[in-house]
């Protein structure tokens, strides 16, 4: 009798449990969708021997991804294709990132697919996709949301991440977009423009600020990729951007310090080199 009652109790407990979400197992996906890595070398053309590489990599994220349900994880497939001509500077390359909810049949259309020129991408804190865009002499990066595939900003210094709180992790990110000569934004074609500072969370761009210089020649020097190097860091509650003259110019540095106050850039308290200004700006 005790066994009978134990059986009934177990059955009642099983019936009381909520139904579990059933996810399909995913195996050998690289074979099923024919996404494979490859390498080829072609020396047939004199002085134009080429190397072509395709790399495919998978990863899955944690939960709490901005733009997605709190308990959802994503599978990311990164496909990088590059072509090199031996002896030439730079290369041709693209990187594609596709995303699916973990457990979804990956033969179905992905949540998004982002394809950009460049040769690599990486995830940062599970929340951001950072694409390496430098295929020639200038290094730069594009920052996208992992959850939505939406573009946030570009930066010509490595992306930095930091917490603005000591009590809890309140993660923020910053970058510096140096004005390229072929910019399509008419406002940035002003010869006094140097760069745009971006301060963001994983969800949105919080603040953009425009750096300008009264002297157009100095502004041109500060934004030059050949004559100037730039570094960005965060310490003591402030962003620091250091512009340094490259060799063979005499060593000299100009520093911009922008405090972060109340989860925003405190532009009024910014410390700037002579003739350099900073103002709020929006795309």
Domain for residue 2, yes or no?
A: no
Query: If DSSP codes are grouped into helix, strand and coil, which group holds residue 186?
Result: helix
Q: Are residues 175 and 209 in the same domain?
A: yes
Provide the token pair at 190.
Answer: 């002003």
Q: Are residues 59 and 185 in the same domain?
A: no
Domain for residue 1, yes or no?
A: no
Distance CA 222, CA 224 (A): 6
- What pLDDT is recorded for position 44? 84
Span 137-152, mean pLDDT? 95
68: nearest Cα among 100, 94, 43, 37: 100
Domain for residue 251, yes or no?
A: yes
State how far the alpha carbon of 182 is from the alpha carbons of 108, 186, 189, in Å: 39, 10, 9
Span 187-202, mean pLDDT? 96
Domain for residue 90, yes or no?
A: yes
Q: Are residues 109 and 204 in the same domain?
A: no
- Model pLDDT for residues 41-67, shown as the tens digit of each residue: 998 877 788 999 999 999 999 999 999
Query: Sorting pLDDT into bands at 50, 70 and 90, what band is 34?
Result: low
Among 146, 178, 201, residue at a domain's last position = 146
Among 100, 126, 146, residue at a domain's last position = 146
Q: Are residues 134 and 154 in the same domain?
A: no
Q: Please work out, in degrees rounded to the nearest 5, the angle formed at the alpha carbon of residue 259 by the alpha carbons of 257 and 265.
A: 110
Q: Could you tell me which residue, 180 or 128, shows the higher pLDDT? A: 128
Domain span at residue 235 reads: 150-283
Domain for residue 105, yes or no?
A: yes
Domain count within the chain: 2
State how far the alpha carbon of 236 is from the alpha carbons of 243, 258, 277, in Å: 19, 11, 22
Q: Are residues 198 and 267 in the same domain?
A: yes
Distance CA 281, CA 260 (A): 16
Q: Are residues 167 and 122 in the same domain?
A: no
- What pLDDT is recorded for position 17? 39
Among 115, 146, 177, residue at a domain's last position = 146
Query: Sorting pLDDT into bands at 50, 70 and 90, what band is 24?
Result: low
Q: Are residues 140 and 156 in the same domain?
A: no
Residue 144 has pLDDT above 90, yes or no: yes
Q: Are residues 63 and 161 in the same domain?
A: no
| Strands of the chain, DSSP E | 38-42, 50-60, 74-85, 92-101, 112-117, 120-124, 128-132, 141-145, 151-155, 160-163, 171-178, 193-200, 205-213, 228-235, 238-245, 253-259, 276-281
Domain for residue 244, yes or no?
A: yes
Query: Sorting pLDDT into bands at 50, 70 and 90, what band is 27?
Result: low
Q: Are residues 207 and 107 in the same domain?
A: no
Range with the poorest average pLDDT among 106-110, 178-182, 223-227: 178-182
Provide the token pair at 238.
Answer: 């402030």
Domain for residue 9, yes or no?
A: no
Domain for residue 23, yes or no?
A: no
| Percent of the chain whose pLDDT exceeds 90 | 70
Residue 3 has pLDDT above 60, yes or no: no
Q: Are residues 138 and 197 in the same domain?
A: no
Q: Are residues 237 and 130 in the same domain?
A: no
Query: If DSSP codes are grouped into helix, strand and coil, which group holds residue 158?
Result: coil
Q: Please work out, in degrees rounded to the nearest 5, the angle formed at the alpha carbon of residue 146 by the alpha carbons of 157 and 156.
A: 10
Q: Are residues 189 and 138 in the same domain?
A: no
Mean pLDDT rounded to a whole number for the chain: 87
- What pLDDT is recorded for position 108? 94
């Amino acid at each position: 009798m005790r066994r009978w009652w134990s059986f009934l109790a177990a059955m009642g407990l099983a019936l009381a449990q909520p139904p579990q979400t059933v996810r399909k197992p995913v195996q050998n996906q690289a074979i099923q969708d024919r996404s494979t890595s490859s390498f080829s070398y072609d020396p047939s053309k004199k002085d134009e021997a080429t190397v072509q590489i395709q790399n495919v990599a998978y990863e899955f994220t944690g939960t709490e991804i901005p733009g997605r349900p709190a308990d959802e994880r994503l599978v990311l497939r990164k496909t990088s294709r590059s072509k090199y001509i031996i002896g030439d500077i730079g290369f041709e390359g693209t990187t594609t990132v596709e995303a699916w909810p973990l457990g979804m049949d990956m033969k179905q259309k992905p949540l998004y697919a982002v394809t950009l020129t460049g040769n690599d991408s990486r995830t940062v804190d599970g929340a951001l996709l950072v694409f390496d865009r430098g295929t020639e002499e200038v290094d730069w990066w594009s920052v996208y949301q992992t959850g939505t595939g939406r573009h946030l900003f570009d930066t010509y210094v490595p992306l930095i991440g930091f917490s603005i709180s000591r009590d809890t992790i309140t993660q923020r990110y910053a970058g510096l977009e140096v004005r390229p000569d072929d910019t399509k934004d008419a406002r940035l074609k002003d010869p006094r423009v140097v760069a745009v500072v971006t301060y963001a969370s994983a969800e949105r761009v919080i603040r953009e600020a425009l750096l300008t210089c009264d002297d157009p020649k100095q502004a041109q020097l500060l934004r030059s990729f050949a004559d100037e190097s730039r570094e960005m860091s965060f310490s003591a509650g402030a962003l620091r951007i250091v512009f340094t003259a490259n060799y063979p110019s005499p060593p000299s540095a100009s520093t911009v310090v922008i405090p972060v106050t109340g989860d925003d850039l405190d532009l009024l308290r910014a410390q700037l080199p002579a003739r350099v200004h900073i103002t709020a700006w929006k795309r």
